[in-house]
Homo-oligomer: A and B are copies of this chain.
Amino acid sequence: MSEEQNIFKNIQDKQEKSLAERVADQINQLILDRNIQQGDKLPNEFELAESLNVGRGTIREAVKLLVARNCLEIRRGKGTYVTEKIGQVNDPLGFAYVSDKVVLAEELLEVRLELEPWIAYLAAQRINDDEKVELKEHCDRLEECILSGQDHNKFDNEFHMFIAKCTHNSVLAELLPIVTYSIQMFTKFRDPELLKNTILTHREITNAICDKDAEKSRMAMYKHVESNRASIKLLNKK
């Protein structure tokens, strides 16, 4: 076991563990050791029970724990697979349990207002030609959705996530969903003026990034998040 894996293990071992939990850790280790990739199939119950020298019932329990931790997923009739986003959980900071959601929204937006303009700045410097095409498609889709009067939340989200991906820093790509999480709770805007503004600012951001104009991208994103923040403040006062 390498040093970093050891440290990871130590962090996990802080709490006393049941047999199923220990076996879950062993399955994780097996995924690392055998270099089983995200989306790949796990060896079946029999094999695992033999490899780890425990009963099949324990394997089943351990697998359930790993499903709960979003490391594995069971596809009915097909077997058990390593999830595409292994170990990543919805709402890792437990925002759903925060009782003052208005304060939470303001705190999240403060972080977004710092993080996202910088993400746009990096994306403009690092975007490649294929990604430019894809970013424009994201922007088009979002625009069409707004113009047709549908809920554009999903496409809006995907647009911002894609920009984070264009930074080519995987930590940023994974971090952004955490700060945008639960912001959707507050986007109930149906005001035509605001929607028109949404179309304009997203186009502005897209063009600046595709032009590889980092400063302009930063400013356009700042303006966009700041205007969201102002709208949400207004909404929360109502």
Contact = CB atoms under 8 A, between A and B. Distances in A.
Interface of A: 3-5, 7-8, 11-12, 15-16, 20-21, 24, 28, 31-32, 35, 38, 61, 64-66, 68-69, 71, 73, 76, 85-94, 96-99, 101, 104, 107-108, 110-111, 114-115, 118, 169-172, 174-175, 178-179, 182, 184-185
Given A89-B92, A92-B93, A118-B114, A4 B65 contact: no
Contacts of A182: 4, 7-8
11 contacts: A4-B101, A7-B185, A8-B91, A38-B97, A66-B68, A69-B89, A86-B94, A89-B89, A110-B171, A111-B169, A111-B171
Contacts of A65: 64-65, 68
User: Nearest 4 CB-CB pairs, A to B?
Assistant: A87-B94, A92-B92, A68-B68, A4-B185
Nearest to A169: B107
B93 A171 contact: yes
What secondary structure prevails in chain A residues at the interface with B?
helix
Contacts of A87: 91-94, 96-97
A182 B10 CA distance: 12
A57 B92 CA distance: 27
B171 A108 contact: yes
Contact of A175 (B32, B38, B178): B178
A56 to B, nearest CB: 17
A9 to B, nearest CB: 9
A24 B20 CA distance: 18
Given A69-B69, A169-B107, A90 B185 contact: no
Given A87-B93, A175-B179, 17 more contacts: A5-B96, A8-B182, A11-B90, A69-B89, A85-B94, A86-B94, A87-B91, A87-B97, A88-B92, A93-B171, A107-B169, A107-B171, A111-B169, A111-B172, A111-B175, A115-B115, A178-B178
